[in-house]
Amino acid sequence: MAVQQDIIEVILKDHRTMEELFRRMRSVEADRAGALREFAALLIAHGEAEEAEVYGALKRFKGVDDDEVEHGSEEHAEGNEALLALMEVSEVGSDEWDERLEELVKAVSHHIDEEERTILNGARESVPGERRAELATAFQRERERLLAADCGSIESVRALVRG
């Protein structure tokens, strides 16, 4: 029998991957443009899948703060805008690149920190394991669908930001 995943662990794993990609985007020794492409796809797929499959479900539980869930969606939009600003910089490693990268890091790190302290802790306390496993499956399915659809392309990110 397959081991059931937990939505909290799945989200945390993505968060740690994003932090590692930030390190790669900052390093002159890394493929910074490649790390940005990987990051863009993950950020968009992760955020959109959270909003489509997880946030609405979590609002139904008393121990999860609805305002924090709404705020999480607002922070996804801010992160997407910062991502687009970085993607539009023509020269990787330029001063403008570094500036916009730090704006992106700041926006996404703030969101990760808040989400882990509020939404995910609320889910740990209030959402039964079986439901968390169901949410993990739904989240991963939607995330994979978005990744397959090239959700991290600059055209996709522009369309998402411009609504």
Q: What is the pLDDT of residues 72-104, one digit of tens each?
A: 899 999 999 999 999 999 999 999 999 999 999
Q: What is the pLDDT of residues 147-158, one digit of tens each?
A: 999 999 999 999
Q: What is the largest CA-CA distance in the chain?
A: 52
pTM of the predicted model over 0.85: yes
60 φ, ψ (degrees, to nearest 5): -75, -10
Q: What pLDDT band is residue 2 in, cutting at 50, 70 and 90?
A: low
> What CA–CA distances, in Å, run from 145 to 44, 45, 82?
12, 8, 23
